[in-house]
Amino acid sequence: MKWAQIVLLISLLSFASAQCVEKPEIPLLTLGLKQPQNVKRVYDYQTNRIDKEGGSFPSGEAESWTLQNGKVTSYVAYAMSPHEEFMVFKYVYKNGRMISSESHFAGEHSFNAYLYDATGRPVRMNSFDLNPKGKKEQDFYSVCTYSGNTITETSHELNKNKKWQVSSRAVYTYQGDRLVKKVHYLDHGKTSGSTSTTTYQYDAKGRQIKESKAFSSSKDQRIETFLYDTQGLRSYYDFVRVEYQMDERGNWISRTTHLKDGGKVVESRKIEYLK
C-alpha cells in the first residue's frame, strides 16, 4: 500500500460506517486536526519512513484538503515530482448537509447525490458515472432505514438486463453514537446467504480499540487492535513513543513515530487558517 493512501483508506472505512452519506472530515479528525472551523486548508501531508540504519523511504506522494465552515470541500492526492493529481474528490453542502460529491479516480468520473428525511437523517444515495457520451448515467443507489438503535443500508445495482436488483445489505447496530456491530449480507442482501459480522470495542474514553470481523463461509477471523499516543491520537504503528512539533494554534505540523524495530515514521503537513 502506498503511504499516501493510508489516510484515504481511513476515509473509505469511515464511509462504510457513515450510512448513505460520506464523511470526508473523519481522516482529518483522526489526524487530530483541532478547530477545523478555523482552517482553510491542510496541505502537503506526506509520510517518510526511515529504517533503523537511517535509510529513507519517502512516499513521493502527498495529500491536501480544503475546508469551509469546518467541512471538507475537496480532497486531492498527488504525486510530488512531477506534480500529478491521481485522486480528486469534491463535496457540496446545503444548510450544513452534504448534497453531492464528485470524484476522479483511476480514469473514472463519478457523482453521488444525497437525500434526507424531515429530521435530517440521510435516507438515500444515488450514484452516477459518465457514459461514453459524457452524460451522467445512474448505476447504483443505496437506501437507509432506521429502527431503534439500528440502521439498515440496502444497496442496489443494475443487472445485465438493466434492471435494478439488491446487491448487498448491511445492518448497523449502535449504542448511543457508537457503532458496535455491523452485519453485512453479501449474497444480494439475502439473510440466508453468506455474511460478514464486524464488532467494535471501545475504551473508557470512547476510543475504538478493537475491530473483529468474522465470516459465515469460514472459521477465519480478522482482528485489528488500535493504539493511542500521549496526544490521544490513533496510531497504526507498533511504536515506542511519538514526538510532535506544534504550530501556534496547537495543531501538529510534524509527527515522528519511533517504532519498536528501531525505525521511525515522519509525517508532516502544512495548515492555512482563515484568520
In this structure, is residue 63 part of a structural domain? yes
Residues facing 228 on adjacent strands = 234
In this structure, is residue 137 part of a structural domain? no
Q: Over 80: is that where the pLDDT of 263 sits? A: yes
Q: pLDDT at position 37, please?
A: 96
In this structure, is residue 14 part of a structural domain? no
7 or 76, which is more confident: 76
What total number of domains does the chain contain? 1
The tens digit of pLDDT for each residue in 107-118 reads: 889 999 999 999
In this structure, is residue 92 part of a structural domain? yes
In the block, which residue shows the cell 439473510?
191
In this structure, is residue 70 part of a structural domain? yes
Q: pLDDT at position 8, please?
A: 47
In this structure, is residue 67 part of a structural domain? yes
Q: pLDDT at position 151, please?
A: 96
The tens digit of pLDDT for each residue in 49-79 reads: 999 999 999 889 999 999 999 999 999 999 9
The tens digit of pLDDT for each residue in 188-246 reads: 767 778 899 999 999 999 999 999 999 998 888 999 999 999 999 999 899 999 999 99
In the block, which residue shows the cell 470512547?
206
Q: pLDDT at position 239, please?
A: 94
The tens digit of pLDDT for each residue in 13-31 reads: 444 345 789 899 989 999 9
DSSP reduced 3-state for 195? strand
b/e for 33-46, b at 16 or more Cβ within 10 A?
A: beebeebebbbebb
Per the structure, the complete domain to which residue 78 belongs is given by 40-45+56-106
In this structure, is residue 97 part of a structural domain? yes
Q: pLDDT at position 18, please?
A: 58
In this structure, is residue 68 part of a structural domain? yes
